[in-house]
Chains A and B, each alone.
Chain A
């Protein structure tokens, strides 16, 4: 893994930075470049406060000295949980609604079964967006399987709860969906069981074997690969391909591609949205 350019950052010395780079890579596969001290400070400061530690150097010393699993997991989760929101990259959901899902519905009319995987589900917005979209398309009576997985057990628990802050439902979610599928509980918004029960969430590391998963019609793995090194990206894409039906689709983030990583995928454009079709 790259250990270059370790900075002499405020709050963290180069040795501690290198330790955290190595530690996060080993535990999650995520690569921290040499200029991410701001990210370390932003993500790990709450842990410093909670543990009454004076600096990131102290946290590193504690990590090296302790066998305390909850602390180790807390650090990895703090570094690997990423922002998401409902209907993120709306063009992809438009393409799903207008083109891709109607094709799949036609194809599976006999069995009325569809399977999806949100491979880095974070707090659940992606999988629940899909669930609401499927309900809107009148597929409530179909056998729909949606799996959501994330490295972070905390994120998985939040996703299962389906409870969101006002700022989270304010972003990207059409008001018509909010009033139809959520109930206001105090200052929060609770997703209705009708949607929640459509998604099953599990903790999972994308670097592990995916042989027991699938087959899926569509796999969402958006804005995740960017955090991995090239070898990990290739391995994950190969595994993801193995979970898809022939002709199934992989959805990546807007800045991600399979090009030069897994060229067996066929890139198909639906308007501005790219979908990667499995052979």
Chain B
């Protein structure tokens, strides 16, 4: 079973996204900020192949997390999708340049997430 991680400081958002990913057959783990997500990543020993990550979180934000993860060549194939309230073009460009593969603006629907995942080729 493929493993995914949802990183968001909102428990409700984590629940919604985890449920969607589970419906696509993913085993899902969660983290409440970027720092915690990096710890989970180390613990899971490179088994996570997909991460949905918020931008604005305490301790370490999503953009920093993306940069940190991409700085490690072991994680170059991990699919990173930002799911955030940031809707400025400049922010999107920053996220994509930092190494995010895709970007979803909140509010989102299950269909929006599913279509993006299909587009990324990670679900049927």
A residues whose Cβ falls under 8 Å from a Cβ of B? 85, 87, 90, 166-167, 170-172, 174-176, 178-179, 182-184
Is there an interface contact between B92 and A174, defined as CB atoms closer than 8 Å? no
Name the one of B92, B108, B115 contacting A178, with C-beta atoms under 8 angstroms: B92
- Nearest CB of B to A60, in Å: 33
Is there an interface contact between B89 and A184, defined as CB atoms closer than 8 Å? yes
Expressed in whole angstroms, the Cα–Cα distance for A176 and B97 within the complex equals 10
Q: B27-40 CB contact bits vs A (8 Å, 1 = yes)?
A: 00000000000000
- Nearest CB of B to A142, in Å: 26
| Chain A residues within an 8 Å CB radius of B93 | 179
Is there an interface contact between B105 and A179, defined as CB atoms closer than 8 Å? no
B residues whose Cβ falls under 8 Å from a Cβ of A? 87-89, 92-93, 95-96, 100, 102-105, 107-109, 111-112, 115-116, 118-119
Name the one of B87, B96, B108, B118 contacting A90, with C-beta atoms under 8 angstroms: B118
Closest to B120 in A: A174
Name the one of B96, B104, B108 contacting A179, with C-beta atoms under 8 angstroms: B96
14 pairs, CB–CB < 8 Å, chain A vs chain B: A90-B115, A166-B87, A167-B109, A170-B112, A174-B102, A175-B92, A175-B95, A175-B102, A178-B89, A179-B93, A183-B89, A184-B87, A184-B88, A184-B89
Is there an interface contact between B105 and A170, defined as CB atoms closer than 8 Å? yes
Is there an interface contact between B92 and A171, defined as CB atoms closer than 8 Å? no
- Given A90-B118, A174-B102, A174-B119: A179 and B92 within 8 A (CB)? yes
Which of B100, B103, B107 is most buried by chain A, counting CB atoms within 10 A of its CB? B103
- Give 10 closest A-B pairs by Cβ, nearest first: A175-B103, A172-B115, A171-B112, A179-B92, A170-B112, A179-B89, A170-B105, A179-B93, A175-B92, A175-B102
Is there an interface contact between B92 and A166, defined as CB atoms closer than 8 Å? no
Name the one of A90, A170, A176, A184 contacting B104, with C-beta atoms under 8 angstroms: A170
Expressed in whole angstroms, the Cα–Cα distance for A176 and B82 within the complex equals 13
| Chain B residues within an 8 Å CB radius of A184 | 87-89
Is there an interface contact between B119 and A170, defined as CB atoms closer than 8 Å? no
- Nearest CB of B to A133, in Å: 13
| Chain B residues within an 8 Å CB radius of A183 | 89
Closest to B89 in A: A179
Expressed in whole angstroms, the Cα–Cα distance for A167 and B93 within the complex equals 19
Expressed in whole angstroms, the Cα–Cα distance for A166 and B88 within the complex equals 11
- Nearest CB of A to B87, in Å: 7
- Given A175-B92, A183-B89: A85 and B115 within 8 A (CB)? yes
Expressed in whole angstroms, the Cα–Cα distance for A178 and B119 within the complex equals 14
| Chain B residues within an 8 Å CB radius of A85 | 115
Expressed in whole angstroms, the Cα–Cα distance for A183 and B87 within the complex equals 11
- Given A171-B112, A183-B89, A184-B88: A87 and B96 within 8 A (CB)? no
- Given A166-B87, A184-B87, A184-B88: A175 and B108 within 8 A (CB)? no
